[in-house]
Structure 1
Amino acid sequence: MSQSHNSVEPNVIDDEMIQKAIEEQYPEDIGQLAKKEGTDFKDVTELQLSFRNILQIDNLWQFENLTKLQLDNNIIEKIEALECLVHLVWLDLSFNNIEVIEGLDTLVKLQDLSLYNNRISKIEHMDTLQELQIFSIGKNNLTTLEDVIYLRRFKNLRTLNLTGNPLCDDERYMLFVVAYLPNLMYLDFKLVSDSTREAAVLEYQDRTDLLEGEEAQVLAELEEKQAKQQELEYHKTAFVEYLNGSFLFDNMYEDDTEAAKLASLPGVSDLLQKYREEFVSVCENLFNFGLKEYEKREAEVSEFCECRNEALTANQQESRKLILDFENRNKMTLDEIHNAGSSDIAESKRAEYKADIHQLSEALMTLEILIADQMEELANDFKGNMAVVASTFIENIKGIMNQCRDLENRHHEKLLEICITTLEKSVKNELEEDLPDEVRMLLVDKNTIVNAANVSHGVRLRKIDMRESDIFTNTYRWQASVTEKAFQNEVDRNREHVKEILQYIDSLQEELHNMETLEPME
């Protein structure tokens, strides 16, 4: 049975309970030290909070590197507040009062999960636990054998405990579970025998084959969806997403009630079809141009990174050579200082060594100044190149988008001609087509139908302008980001390297200072 602890006041997890639990995990002497000095929760990888009458999980967000957590034998009713424990590999929530499996989505590294002896009636909400190898959910309220099929998604699951659930009483239980979970090695603490596996296959093969076919179809659809999403992300990086088709054209007419009415006029359908074909062709030209330009931009960035890395590598080799020469040269000097026959000789050698340290410091700093200047020049050239690349791209986009506007303007002119012609026929009662009432209301006079056409035309032009503006904005944002990153990377590198040089020189000077305290040998 789950723990009731009726005579004890329910607890929540607080700092005092956590600190006590940590201290108890260590041997007595280390535990006392931890109590005295405190513990950085980020350093804790295992935490045992069993038998503490805990009602609610809380305050565990500080244990960001926790890999093992025991919360068994409490009175927990809800799985919650575990979101930050993304490194958990082992989780024990057995002997509690949990009714629903939930709150585990972020625990993607979980391999061993125990929900033994709770009040769970359905296996669910575990899709992200793809690393799961051991799952114990015995002594719960699982009643339906078919619920076990959910566990097929866990391809690494090898050990499963279901014993003590009502579904175990079904005479089909053993063969059903083994048939639908063919990768299981252990079921209810027993090794699945070859004979059981063969019997399960014989009994359920028709059904499992059908299920495998359905799963394969679902997997194929998922892979196709993921491929399309990856392709879309690629198009977005090129700033031409949704331009390889009719999306922009369809978007221009979306929710345009005036255009929908005007489409009923005689001859407009054919006019729209021709306009659509020409417009989509221009969009696809823009799309293909955008992808080519993206590859060019990436090549420019790669070339800059390559030049930067070559220069830095050459500089680092020179620095290493200076340090190696210094250390080889002064290994003997240190020995001479240590073994000096008099204080005067020792002092003279120390002075030489001190001067050599200073000379090394100057040489290393000079190299860093040279590479910093070289990096700044490279970054400035890169910034100029990116400005040219961006402006050239923008100018070409303007030209292609103007083609879209020209098509729209020509279409609008022809549409107006049809509107006027239709209006004249309507006035003379020469219209052969039976038009909807909402369209006939536009044919009351010239101003009404021309205004309707102009409103629709304005909507489409704004959609074209907005798409063009999006491309410009994304291009300039990319340009600013990539150049800013180039400069910031150099600032960070320079600061870090200067710090390294100073620390190295300080260590040499400290070593020399320590030797000054040594008495010369007689």
Structure 2
Amino acid sequence: MSRLYDTIEPNVIDEKMLQKAVEEQGPQEELGQLAKREGIDYKDVIELQLDFRNILKIDNLWQFVNLTKLQLDNNIIEKIEALDSLVHLIWLDLSFNNIEVIEGLEALVKLQDLSLYNNRISKIENLDTLQELQVFSIGNNNLTALENVVYLRKFKNLRTLNLTGNPVCENEQYSMFIAAHLPDLVYLDFRLVDENTLLDMIQNMSSFEIAESKLVKYNEDISQLSDTLMTLEMQTVDQLEVRQGDISPVRGQSNATVLCFLTFFHTMAQCRDLENHHHEKLLEIAINTLEKIVKSEFDEEMPDDVRLLFVDKDTIVNAVNASHDIHLLKIDNREDDIVTKANSWSSSVHKNELNRNRNRVREINQYIDHLQEELDNMESLEQME
């Protein structure tokens, strides 16, 4: 199933190994010798063979940013790691190693051909980002569950699959199960799957097996529908929160809300500035008027209640200041009233949206539960028959 440590000491990929591998695999003619003397830029390397080198740990490949083909087969590698920088990789061979878990491949979104043949893997997983995958070899591993193969349905470009040598292949339903769930395969276990072969497989399936296969697919579709509906609802909530923002100017909110509040507070500040300016002018006029009255130079008519204020300077100054305080208080009260109403409106909108979201999530769950119940009833009827 996998290679054991032999007499050669386990290796880690280091600079010396990489330099030697690149030189050995590069051109050997005059141009190649010149490149050796002047040094090779790893960024120019697009193919790299590191097979049969007793490598235990993958490392130091980050410089090969344009690599498209990498061979790491026939080593003693135990973990898939340190491949994140190889984003242009199309072909990867990790066969004949000691790998137990599929991992560390998330960044290889362009990968088309992946070989994990002859390792210790017991589950197909962690390949979601490899949507370009066309060829997948995972024979001679420890796969035991047919249901795990359904995971490969998400790879719409997958045309070649090798599972030979796994315990799962001993299941008498193996070929028919694969044919039912991966109908786009062209090659399965080194054999061409033509239309006639596929049709024979399906025809040989009993009605119960066909129904069971469909039920598995329907369960998968229901699960996907649930995820899609929940995702859409969460996106709706996020969009509403961005548009709505938070009315409180202290916390972070949308640009529109911030602009609205900046304009509002600027306007209120202008009102206070105008009132202060008015107060200064009024105080100046009142004092000038008092001086004219004292000198008997004020000839204009004046109501009696107003004239009573011009008894002395303290009286008129106190009266003008009192008027100023009242005006500022009205501005403050108006500002508080507007902010309070705005916060009340925001709270109401938030509450309504929260209730709407809860109701929608409840509806989605009820709908999914209904579909699942209908499917369970169908499964029960099939078993009874």
TM-score (normalised: structure 2): 0.62
SS in 2 for 1:210: helix
Give the one of 204, 210, 213 matched to 1:205.
210
Cα deviation, 1:60-86, whole Å, max 9, x if unaligned, reads 111111111110011101111111111
Matches of 2:228 and 2:168 in 1, distance apart? 34
Against the structure 1 CA distance between its residues 61 and 397, is the aligned structure 2 distance closer, same or farther, given a 3 Å change threshold? farther
Q: CA deviation at 1:408?
A: 8.5
Note if contact 1:175-1:196 (Cα within 8 Å) is conserved in structure 2: no
- The corresponding residue for 2:324 is none
Against the structure 1 CA distance between its residues 51 and 152, is the aligned structure 2 distance closer, same or farther, given a 3 Å change threshold? same
Note if contact 1:57-1:81 (Cα within 8 Å) is conserved in structure 2: yes
Matches of 1:79 and 1:114 in 2, distance apart? 12
Alignment of 1:62-461 (within 5 A): 62-202=63-203, 203=205, 204-228=209-233, 239-241=242-244, 290=256, 394-395=262-263, 405-407=339-341
Q: CA deviation at 1:92?
A: 0.3
Matches of 2:337 and 2:44 in 1, distance apart? 62
Cα deviation, 1:378-414, whole Å, max 9, x if unaligned, reads xxxxxxxxxxxx8567326999x96674248999xxx
- The corresponding residue for 1:27 is 27
Q: CA deviation at 1:117?
A: 0.7
Note if contact 1:175-1:199 (Cα within 8 Å) is conserved in structure 2: no
Against the structure 1 CA distance between its residues 164 and 403, is the aligned structure 2 distance closer, same or farther, given a 3 Å change threshold? farther
Matches of 2:197 and 2:158 in 1, distance apart? 18
Matches of 2:215 and 2:338 in 1, distance apart? 51
Matches of 1:111 and 1:43 in 2, distance apart? 21
Note if contact 1:25-1:31 (Cα within 8 Å) is conserved in structure 2: no
Equivalent position amino acid for 1:63 in 2: F
Against the structure 1 CA distance between its residues 222 and 42, is the aligned structure 2 distance closer, same or farther, given a 3 Å change threshold? farther
User: Structure 2 unaligned runs (5+)?
Assistant: 268-334, 351-385
TM-score (normalised: structure 1): 0.47
Equivalent position amino acid for 2:11 in 1: N
Q: Larger Cα Rg: Structure 1 or Structure 2?
A: 2
Q: CA deviation at 1:223?
A: 3.7
SS in 1 for 2:92: strand
Note if contact 2:143-2:167 (Cα within 8 Å) is conserved in structure 1: yes
- The corresponding residue for 1:3 is 3
Note if contact 1:24-1:31 (Cα within 8 Å) is conserved in structure 2: no
Equivalent position amino acid for 1:207 in 2: E
Q: CA deviation at 1:166?
A: 1.4
Against the structure 1 CA distance between its residues 403 and 220, is the aligned structure 2 distance closer, same or farther, given a 3 Å change threshold? farther
Matches of 1:192 and 1:141 in 2, distance apart? 24
Matches of 1:183 and 1:402 in 2, distance apart? 67
Against the structure 1 CA distance between its residues 229 and 61, is the aligned structure 2 distance closer, same or farther, given a 3 Å change threshold? farther
Equivalent position amino acid for 1:97 in 2: N
Cα RMSD, aligned residues only: 3.4
Equivalent position amino acid for 1:406 in 2: T
Against the structure 1 CA distance between its residues 17 and 207, is the aligned structure 2 distance closer, same or farther, given a 3 Å change threshold? same
Matches of 1:397 and 1:209 in 2, distance apart? 63
Against the structure 1 CA distance between its residues 396 and 58, is the aligned structure 2 distance closer, same or farther, given a 3 Å change threshold? same
| Bigger mean CA offset, 227-236 vs 74-83 | 227-236
SS in 1 for 2:183: coil
Q: CA deviation at 1:177?
A: 1.2
SS in 1 for 2:243: coil
Matches of 1:192 and 1:87 in 2, distance apart? 30
Matches of 2:197 and 2:218 in 1, distance apart? 24
Note if contact 1:232-1:241 (Cα within 8 Å) is conserved in structure 2: no
- The corresponding residue for 2:323 is none
SS in 1 for 2:144: coil
SS in 2 for 1:28: coil
Structure with bigger helix share is 1
- The corresponding residue for 1:18 is 18
Against the structure 1 CA distance between its residues 17 and 8, is the aligned structure 2 distance closer, same or farther, given a 3 Å change threshold? same
